């Protein structure tokens, strides 16, 4: 035997061993020559397609590719072979039972021992289950996103309806008090304060109500409020401060004075629930406390020129204003009873 013959024999032997190994591999394997004509398929491929080697060689294998995928598939395959570059593609391949299965086909150039281009070798795995799982995951994700959008839309609508109702409530309260009781949405809705009077705010407790009252009186005198109007302001401020102590667990009171007097009372209590706001502020005799008379707000609206109210879960702020002279419309008769 010449060296060349033994070399060829060894090559033939390794080729044979490779094919035996490839026939028992868990993937479908194909090979093609340098021109791109397929010349070998392993047993798993032939079993999958249910076709013979004769049917598959050359371009025969492409008959099993889904009509919608075959053009792209051939294009990818041919240009990869022409460029001698590895490729990866997905297409539907007909199984022996007629079912279309998605396969992931990966091809790479192979070379002879002397380095010459020898064609391609490729392997395919059935990724139908993986694709379906991925599609189901995407579908579920899309449905979740849609449900979330819908939930947000409903929440927005509810919020809008809520805001509308709130606004109507505020308008109604202002209307029924001819603009004397103004319910605010945010601290920005409160009027700006005139000059501080009497120093640091008074920490409100049952025992400091007297001090608060003295400060209001002094401010009223400084602003030259007529006696009866000062008396009204003392009544209103007393009710506001009392509410902070009784319902808000305490708070701070400050007094501000220029041509008018402002009394600001703030607490950090539970606030007045939106659902009872109109009754708490407008209805004489409405109280959430067994011992309450429900006169506080009723009196405030009658004795202050204007009452600004900001209330919510973070607490309640009341700002009372009194001018030297009466201004604005009188209260409607149904509220003066």
Ligand X SMILES: Nc1ncnc2c1ncn2[C@@H]1O[C@H](COP(=O)(O)OP(=O)(O)OP(=O)(O)O)[C@@H](O)[C@H]1O
| Cβ distance to ligand X smaller for residue 107 or 271 | 271
Does 295 sit near ligand X (CB under 6 A)? yes
Does 289 sit near ligand X (CB under 6 A)? yes
Is residue 89 within 8 Å of residue 73, measured between CB atoms?
A: yes
Q: Which string of x and - marks every residue 179-218 that binds Mg ion (by CB under 5 A)? A: ----------------------------------------
Which among 117-125, 141-149, 212-220, 292-300 is the span making contact with Mg ion, rule CB under 5 A? Answer: 292-300
Total chain residues near ligand X (CB under 6 A): 24
Contacts of 136-141 with CB under 8 Å at 24 or more apart are none
Is residue 14 helix, strand or coil? helix
Does 243 sit near ligand X (CB under 6 A)? yes
Does 287 sit near ligand X (CB under 6 A)? yes
| Cβ distance to ligand X smaller for residue 55 or 208 | 208
Is residue 86 helix, strand or coil? coil
- Main-chain dihedrals φ then ψ at residue 90, nearest 5 degrees: -120, 135
Nearest to 188 by CA among 295, 310, 288: 310
Does 296 sit near Mg ion (CB under 5 A)? yes
Residue nearest to ligand X (CB): 296
DSSP string covering 285-314, please?
A: T--SSTT--S-HHHHHHHHSSEEEEEEETT
Does 314 sit near ligand X (CB under 6 A)? no
202 binds, options Mg ion, ligand X, none, Cβ within 5 to 8 A by partner type: none
| Cβ distance to Mg ion smaller for residue 93 or 244 | 244
Nearest to 122 by CA among 135, 133, 106, 136: 106
Which among 35-43, 45-53, 80-88, 289-297 is the span making contact with Mg ion, rule CB under 5 A? Answer: 289-297
Among 80, 254, 296, 308, binds ligand X (CB under 6 A): 296
Among 89, 124, 280, 301, binds ligand X (CB under 6 A): 280
Place of tokens 């309806």: 161
Is residue 260 within 8 Å of residue 321, measured between CB atoms?
A: yes
* Sequence-separated (6 or more) residues with CB below 8 Å from residue 253: 201, 202, 204, 212, 215, 237, 240, 241, 244, 263, 264, 265, 266
User: Nearest approach, Cβ of 243 to ligand X (angstroms)?
Assistant: 3
In 172-281, beta strands by DSSP E: 181-184, 196-204, 251-257, 261-267
Which among 52-60, 183-191, 214-222, 295-303 is the span making contact with ligand X, rule CB under 6 A? Answer: 295-303
Which among 3-11, 19-27, 70-78, 291-299 is the span making contact with ligand X, rule CB under 6 A? Answer: 291-299
Among 69, 252, 267, 321, binds ligand X (CB under 6 A): 267
Q: Which two tokens stand for residue 286?
A: 């409405």
* Sequence-separated (6 or more) residues with CB below 8 Å from residue 20: none
| Cβ distance to ligand X smaller for residue 2 or 336 | 336
Does 316 sit near ligand X (CB under 6 A)? yes
| Cβ distance to Mg ion smaller for residue 119 or 296 | 296
Contacts of 326-329 with CB under 8 Å at 24 or more apart are 326/229, 328/178, 328/179, 328/180, 329/178, 329/179
184 binds, options Mg ion, ligand X, none, Cβ within 5 to 8 A by partner type: none
Does 313 sit near ligand X (CB under 6 A)? no
Cα–Cα dist 66/102, whole Å: 10
Q: Where on the chain is the footprint of Mg ion (CB under 5 A)?
A: 243, 296
Q: Where on the chain is the footprint of ligand X (CB under 6 A)?
A: 239, 243-244, 246-248, 267, 269-272, 280, 286-289, 292-298, 316
């Amino acid at each position: 035997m010449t060296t060349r013959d033994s070399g060829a024999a060894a090559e033939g032997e390794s080729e044979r061993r490779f094919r035996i190994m490839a026939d028992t591999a868990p993937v479908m394997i194909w090979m093609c020559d340098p021109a791109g004509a397929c010349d070998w398929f392993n047993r798993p491929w032939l079993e999958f397609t249910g076709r013979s080697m004769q049917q598959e060689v050359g371009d025969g294998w492409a008959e099993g590719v889904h009509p919608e995928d075959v053009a792209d598939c051939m294009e990818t395959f041919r240009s990869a072979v022409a460029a001698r570059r590895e490729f990866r593609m997905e297409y539907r391949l007909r199984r022996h039972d007629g079912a279309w299965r998605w396969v992931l086909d990966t091809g790479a150039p192979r070379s002879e021992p002397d380095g010459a281009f020898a064609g391609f070798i490729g392997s395919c795995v059935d990724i139908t289950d993986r694709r379906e799982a991925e599609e189901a995951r995407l579908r579920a994700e899309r449905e979740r996103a849609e449900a979330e959008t819908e939930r947000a839309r409903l929440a927005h609508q509810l919020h809008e309806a809520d805001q509308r109702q709130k606004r109507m409530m505020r308008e109604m309260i202002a209307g029924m008090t001819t603009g004397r009781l103004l319910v605010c949405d945010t601290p920005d809705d409160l009027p700006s304060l005139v000059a501080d009077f009497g120093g640091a705010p008074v920490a409100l407790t049952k025992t400091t109500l007297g001090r608060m009252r003295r400060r209001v009186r002094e401010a009223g005198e400084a602003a030259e409020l007529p006696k009866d109007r000062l008396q009204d302001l003392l009544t209103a401020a007393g009710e506001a401060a009392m509410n902070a102590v009784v319902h808000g667990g305490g708070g701070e009171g400050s007094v501000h004075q220029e041509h008018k007097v402002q009394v600001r009372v703030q607490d950090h209590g539970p606030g007045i629930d939106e659902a009872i706001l109109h009754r708490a502020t407008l209805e004489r005799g409405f109280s959430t406390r067994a011992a309450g008379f429900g006169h506080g707000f009723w009196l405030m609206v009658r004795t202050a020129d204007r009452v600004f109210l900001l209330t919510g879960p973070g607490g309640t702020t009341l700002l009372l204003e009194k001018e030297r002279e009466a201004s604005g419309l009188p209260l409607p008769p149904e509220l003066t009873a």
